[in-house]
Chain A
Amino acid sequence: GDSVTQMEGPVTLSEEAFLTINCTYTATGYPSLFWYVQYPGEGLQLLLKATKADDKGSNKGFEATYRKETTSFHLEKGSVQVSDSAVYFCALSLMNSGYSTLTFGKGTMLLVSP
């Protein structure tokens, strides 16, 4: 079945460091790919998405490029802030008979220290 694998955390960084969180997927078909972020005590928020190969999603300094050849969608940010500390989820979605659902990875916790 469809699945998402992302690197285990926690990822611990100092402020202004470069961030990469790896995400790879397995899917039958051509999924849309997403990164969601969950801040402590809150629900998930869509961070960015890409709907086809070579698309780059970006938001709030975060970027991810849909790589079909490597089935990957790695999340990057050039300079993290303490406020970026959260859990990040990679997810995919496929259309099936007119509807689609989200399949999530296990999540990666990011801790940024001042």
Chain B
Amino acid sequence: DSGVTQTPKHLITATGQRVTLRCSPRSGDLSVYWYQQSLDQGLQFLIQYYNGEERAKGNILERFSAQQFPDLHSELNLSSLELGDSALYFCASSVGTSGAYQETQYFGPGTRLLVL
């Protein structure tokens, strides 16, 4: 158990809908990272938040957005969903802001999203 929790575990929805994925980092970790894992694209970094502020951006679509709240939990919002958004979405956390180069990222179990 990494200490990172994600809800829900599974999500089934329809095209055009909007969903919210939630992540609680390990106690004491200030950074949260979101990743998407799909069969065709593999595992891709989406976005990082540190202590409530956006820190780094990866291959995140404009239809997707995220935020980190004062209690440090984070939400990833996916809107106008398409079939191709079906994937496993991981959240990770680390203590500081410098990312994987100097710190270990701890991953949650993921949320599996299926868009029908």
Band of interface residues on A:
20 to 34
B98 touches A46 (CB 8 A): no
Chain B residues within 8 Å of chain A by Cβ, number: 26
Stretch at the interface among A13-21, A69-77, A89-97: A89-97
Interface residues in A15-53 (C-beta closer than 8 Å to B)? 31-32, 34, 36, 41-46, 51
Among A31, A100, A101, find the residue whose CB has the most chain B CB atoms closer than 10 A: A101
Given A89-B43, A101-B58, A105-B42, is A43 in contact with B100 using a C-beta cutoff of 8 Å? no
Q: Closest Cβ of chain B: how far from A8's Cβ, in Å?
A: 12
0/1 string, B81-106, CB within 8 A of A gives 1 = 00000000010100001111110110
B66 at the interface (CB under 8 A from A): no
Question: Which residues of A are in contact with B by a Cβ distance under 8 Å?
Answer: 31-32, 34, 36, 41-46, 51, 89, 91, 93-95, 98-107
Question: Which residues of B are in contact with A by a Cβ distance under 8 Å?
Answer: 2, 4, 33, 35, 42-45, 48, 55-56, 58, 90, 92, 97-102, 104-105, 107-110
- Apart from A98-B98, A99-B99, A105-B42, 9 more pairs, CB < 8 Å: A43-B2, A43-B107, A43-B110, A44-B43, A93-B100, A95-B99, A99-B56, A100-B98, A101-B99
